[in-house]
Amino acid sequence: MTEQNIYGNTPCFLGAKNISKDKNTDGVDAVIYGVPWEGAVTWGDYTGCELGPKVMRLCSGRYSGYLPELDHIDIFEHIQLGDMGDIDVVPADVYETMHRIENFAKNLWNSGKFIIGLGGDHGVTFPIIKALTNTGKKVGIIHLDAHYDNLPSWKDDEYARCSPFKRLYECEGVRNESIIHTGIHGPRNEPQAGRNAKAAGAVTITINDIRESKDLRALAKEIYQKAHADVDCVYLSICSDVLDFAFNPGGPVDGNGLTSYELLTLVYEICKLGVIGMDFVEVYPQQDLSYRSAHFASYIVLYALAGEIINKQRKQLSSQENQIHEHATTV
Ligand SMILES: [Mn+2]
């Protein structure tokens, strides 16, 4: 075991700096953390997403930060990534775990860095965003998923993976009209899910809306503008099953989903416009024997970081322009 490893033989995600012990984000631009949590299991054939953070880190060892297809960008020339390790969830104690996730996330949001969570089931997204609203920010959410995840509960568990967006509809600091359920499709959704979204005032962009739009990049802008209306920041939450099962063959069998090109392009274009943080959830290493969804996590994070680099450069440029303008008006 080396000090560089996050634990055991598991490396930091994409070669990030290990900040799991001191939690010090000085000199770090973006922070990765894991939420090895699986709550209520809604369908027994797919279980084990608490293994997600570990397997995503193991798979990430294969990749650099170089993306020839994005103007030959080398992400780690621009970004220092820090790996903060995993949240110490408490198996079988949902309330304590939600509380711990919220606490951990609070410190992350206070750091002001670009925050990336690796799930875990989708239930983790609620306490992460709840912590963000507790900082006083009004939040919009771009939710990329085949499913609404907005049912009131799973049996008695109101923090189950099918319910985070119902909890977020009820959350004071989230603007429901700025929740954009994007890529929704397929009969694993229940009829009440669409009705719940509508009643809450949330926006639905189905897979057919995406497929039939002439320009994917323009659509990403439109989605972002909707999410950004009348809020302080936009959060991005991605469930692996928004991908078609042809592109996510170890995941749940959701047909008519996004291609990997479509998902990565949406992530890149959305992050170019500025998101405060994101998560990627619901990979199932026990069912996905080649770890394909876990490998793809590296792609998603790299495309998000590529977008964040452009966003940062644009912000720096505009603040320089403002300074020049102020200087010109004072002399
Ligand atoms: Mn889903």
Interval between CA 319 and ligand 1 midpoint (Å): 39
E strands present in 103-254: 114-119, 139-144, 174-184, 203-206, 233-239
pLDDT in the model for residue 1: 45
From the CA of 239, how far away is ligand 1's center (Å)? 5
Beta carbons of 138 and 173 less than 8 angstroms apart: yes
Q: Is 254 annotated as a binding residue?
A: no
Residue-level length of the chain: 331
Distance in angstroms (rounded) separating the CA atoms of residues 178 and 73: 31
HSE, side-chain direction, 13 A CA sphere, residue 151: 16
pLDDT at 182: 98
- Give the span between the Cα atoms of 183 and 288, in whole angstroms: 22
Are 165 and 150 within 8 A, CB to CB?
Answer: yes
The encoded tokens of residue 25 equal 């984000």
pLDDT in the model for residue 331: 65
pLDDT in the model for residue 290? 94
* pLDDT tens for the 331 residues of the chain, in order: 456 899 999 999 999 999 999 999 999 999 999 999 999 888 888 899 999 999 999 999 999 999 999 999 999 999 999 999 999 999 989 999 999 999 999 999 999 999 999 999 999 999 999 999 999 999 999 999 999 999 999 999 999 999 999 999 999 999 999 999 999 999 999 999 999 999 999 999 999 999 999 999 999 999 999 999 999 999 999 999 999 999 999 999 999 999 999 999 999 999 999 999 999 999 999 999 999 999 999 999 999 999 999 999 999 999 888 888 888 877 6
Predicted confidence at residue 199, as pLDDT, reads 98
CATH architecture observed for domain 13-320: 3-Layer(aba) Sandwich (3.40)
Ligand 1 mean position to 87 CA, how many Å? 22
CA of 242 to the centre of ligand 1 (A): 6
CA of 330 from ligand 1 middle (Å) equals 55
Q: Is 99 annotated as ligand-binding? A: no
Rounded distance from Cα 204 to ligand 1 centre (Å): 14
Give which of 227, 239, 229, 241 is closest to 269, Cα–Cα. 227
Q: 147 labelled as ligand-binding?
A: yes
pLDDT of the residue at 45: 85
Domain locations in the chain as residue ranges: 13-320
- Sign of the alpha-carbon dihedral angle for 208, 212, 213, 216: positive
**Residue 232 assigned ligand-binding role:** no
Quick one: pLDDT at residue 2? 53
Q: Give distance in angstroms: CA of 140 to centre of ligand 1.
A: 19
149 Cα: distance to centroid of ligand 1 (angstroms):
7
| 314 CA to centre of ligand 1 in angstroms | 33
* Whole-Å CA distances, 101 to 66, 88, 107, 233, 308: 32, 8, 10, 20, 24
- Dist. CA 184 → ligand 1 center (Å): 9
